[in-house]
Chains A and B, each alone.
Chain A
Amino acid sequence: MGESAPGNLGAPTFHALFREYFAQMTRLAHLLGADDAENVAQEAFVKLHQRWDTLTDHTRVAGYLRTTVVNMSRSRTRHLRVVRRTPQERPPDELSAEVRAVANWEHQQLRAVLGRLSRRQREVLVLRYWLDLSTAAIAETLGISQGTVKATTHHAMENLRKHLGDDLGGER
Chain B
Amino acid sequence: MTDLERKLAEALRGQAGEVTLNLDAAWAEQQRRHRRSRRRRGAVWAAPMAAVLVVLTSVLLATQVNTASAPPANRGQELQLAKPEYQPFDHRMLTDGDMAIITEFAGQTDRWRVWAYTGSQVTAPDRKLFCLAAIPVGADLTEGTPQYGTKSPQCTELRPDTGKTVLAGYVGEIGGPLPPGKAVYLVSSTPEQLRLYNAQGDLSQGKLVDRVASSYQVFLADVVPGSPPVRAEVS
Contact = CB atoms under 8 A, between A and B. Distances in A.
The main secondary structure of chain B at its interface with chain A is helix
B12 A42 contact: no
B27 A18 contact: yes
A50 B37 CA distance: 9
Contacts of B80: none
B14 interface: yes
B65 interface: no
Given A19-B27, A38-B26, A129-B12, A157 B4 contact: yes
B7 A168 contact: yes
B29 A42 contact: yes
B3 A169 contact: yes
A99 B18 contact: yes
B13 A130 contact: yes
Interface stretch (A25-33, A79-87, A141-149): A25-33
A126 B12 CA distance: 7
Interface in B130-144: none
Contacts of A110: 7-8, 11
Interface string B1-31: 0111101111111111011010100110111
Interface in B149-182: none
A170 B4 contact: yes
A106 B30 contact: no
The main secondary structure of chain A at its interface with chain B is helix
Contact of B11 (A30, A46, A106, A169): A106
A65 interface: no
Contacts of B5: 129, 157
Classify chain A's interface size: 35 or more
Contact of B37 (A46, A103, A130, A164): A46
B8 A125 contact: yes
A-B pairs, top 8 by smallest CB distance, nearest first, are A169-B3, A27-B16, A130-B12, A110-B11, A107-B11, A129-B9, A27-B19, A46-B33
Interface of A: 1, 15, 18-19, 22-23, 26-28, 30-31, 37-38, 42-43, 45-46, 49-50, 93, 95-96, 99, 103, 106-107, 110-111, 114, 125-126, 129-130, 157, 160-161, 164, 168-170
Given A106-B7, A125-B8, A130-B13, 20 more contacts: A18-B26, A18-B27, A26-B19, A26-B21, A30-B15, A30-B19, A38-B26, A42-B29, A42-B30, A107-B10, A107-B11, A110-B7, A114-B8, A114-B11, A129-B8, A129-B12, A157-B4, A157-B5, A160-B8, A169-B3
30 contacts: A1-B31, A18-B27, A19-B27, A22-B26, A22-B27, A23-B19, A23-B21, A30-B15, A31-B16, A38-B21, A42-B26, A42-B30, A42-B33, A46-B34, A93-B15, A95-B18, A106-B7, A106-B11, A107-B10, A107-B14, A110-B7, A110-B8, A114-B8, A126-B12, A129-B8, A129-B9, A161-B4, A164-B4, A169-B7, A170-B4
